[in-house]
Structure 1
Amino acid sequence: MSLETINLEYLKLTANDKLLDLGCGEGRHALSAYISKELEVYAVDLSISDLEITKSRFNEFYESENERKNLSIAAANAENLPFKDDEFDSVICSEVLEHIHDYKSVLLEISRVLKNGGVAGISVPRFFPEWICWQLSDAYHEVKGGHVRIFKKHRLLEDIEETGLSLEKLHYAHALHVPYWWLKCLFWREPGEREAIVVRLYHRFLVWDLMKKPFICSLAEKLLNPIMGKSVVMYFRKKIERF
């Protein structure tokens, strides 16, 4: 099981590229990109607490002697980004759009700051696993800052392509996470309450899988992702304007 939802290889990043991780959360994609290549990475989010965690984690991997890579961390609104047009070679927006009412404004911002020919990696929860979560627990989607919609893939694809981006690749991810979220919704606990034992045991399994990476789990997820992957992951290229 991989920690990242967006496969960085599909972004076709090269040395000195500028990468934006939009809605970076605790920095999993931004940090992986910083570690893997000599890039100028920007990690932005509205959550100050998440940004503080990102900064703390970054301090563990900071390469002070290497001036050819950098990670900048800042608070920013995804609907009105403080960046110039055509500023980034690649943009990541992973598991963000489902939290935002005016998600089309975010899509327009992604297209605006992405260079012509650049690649955007965008992921959202897949319809069926997410729908089951909503049926099992109202609290799952009513919690503050939670999911405000369930996307249908074809509709979201149309919305993204209307901004001038063209789909290049699509896959699914994190099938082994789906039972965890179904169990969590079935045995829902309020913040601060102890999780049900079955939820704690499954979470322990996911951590074990992440750390040990056993072949059988990797194979199972590979086979299950097309059927019940938790996330739909899409890669788009911004069309090169011809004059």
Structure 2
Amino acid sequence: METIDFDRLTLTPGMRVLDVGCGEGRHVHAAALENVAEVVGLDLGRNNLEAAREDYEEYIAPETDVPVTFLSGDALRLPFADGAFDVVCCTEVLEHLPDYESAIDELRRVCAPGGTLAVSVPREGPERVCWALSDEYHAVEGGHVRIFDREELRAAVERRGFRRVDSHFAHALHSPYWWLKCLWWDRDERGEPPLPLRAYDRFLEWDVLESPRPVRLLERALDPALGKSVVYYFELEGQA
């Protein structure tokens, strides 16, 4: 389940792609199936990286010759040279960081002139519902520390020399799931999720595995109103 739409990116054989906060590797895996030179996934969580490597080796490596590297690292101190990557991705990370602007500085530093930055955060409306329903949703260790106004995020990125080239909302069907989860947060944490939450969880798992066309079309239609994430695509001004 990708948040970034790779069809909105122009990927060519010589490009290097970085995913900052790659989690279990969903965007690394997707990028590796494109016609690029190299993909790097970076995350603080070693369990995430191990899961990403295992899935890559089992499902992706047999399908591609693109070199892929997984590294442990901090978004505030990226271990790469200036301008090292043609495409930099950062999805659902900045809302966890107290100093998110320093992270944007680092994303800017490692992005090559003329390169692309794809970044997403939870959308303000659905996120406010989650915060209203459950303090624990955002108060847990490593949880969300802010609700982004999408224009505030856009302005913060554009101040660093980027130009917005595209945007969209994503994951409308996940908004109701998180509202249900927040509503019954205590029961879910005790391992006693009520039937509606269990049923919705099974539905989302089925959707991810099977990707049925009618459900994909339904979510696309609902994304403008209910999309849980807002996704921006920027180009770093300057000659590549």
Question: Residue type matched to 2:142 in 1?
Answer: G
Deviation at 1:20, TM superposition (A): 0.3
Alignment partners' CA distance in 2, 1:215 and 1:57: 24
| Aligned equivalents of 2:115, 2:8: Cα separation in 1 | 11
Closer, same or farther: CA 205–117 of 1 in aligned 2, 3 Å: same
For residue 97 of structure 1, what is the aligned residue in structure 2? 94
Structure 2 residue runs without a partner (length 5+): none
Q: Is the 8 A contact 1:33 1:39 kept in 2?
A: no
The aligned amino acid for 2:100 is Y
Contact kept, 8 Å, 1:114 with 1:238, in 2: the verdict is yes
Q: Which of 57, 60, 65 is residue 58 of structure 2 equivalent to?
A: 60
What is the alpha-carbon distance in structure 1 between the residues aligned to residue 20 and residue 144 of structure 2?
17
CA contact (8 A) 2:101 2:156 kept: yes
Task: Work out the CA distance in 2 between the residues paired with 1:62 and 1:4.
Answer: 15
Cα distance, 1:206 vs structure 2: 1.1
Instruction: Determine the C-alpha separation between the residues in 1 that align with 2:238 and 2:33.
Output: 29
User: SS where residue 129 of structure 1 aligns?
Assistant: helix
- After TM superposition, the score normalised by the length of structure 2 is 0.94
Segments of 4+ in structure 1 off by > 6 A?
Answer: none
Indicate conservation of the 8 Å contact 2:172/2:222, yes or no. yes
Q: Structure 1 pair 117/52, CA: closer, same or farther in 2 (3 Å)?
A: same
> Structure 1 residues 39 and 9 mapped into 2: Cα distance closer, same or farther (>3 Å)?
farther
Separation of aligned partners in 2, 1:62 and 1:170: 28
Instruction: Classify the secondary structure of the residue corresponding to 1:178.
Output: helix
2:20–2:75 CA contact under 8 A, matched in 1: yes
Determine the structure 2 residue equivalent to 1:6: 4
Q: For residues 10-21 of structure 1, what are the structure 2 equivalents within 5 Å?
A: 10-21=8-19
Aligned residues with identical type, % of pairs: 44
**Counterpart Cα distance in 1 of 2:222 and 2:61:** 38
Shift of 1:191: 4.0
Structure 1 residues not aligned, in runs of 5+: none
Greater CA drift, 74-83 or 191-200: 191-200
User: 1:168 aligned to 2:172?
Assistant: no
- Please say if 1:28 is aligned against 2:21: no
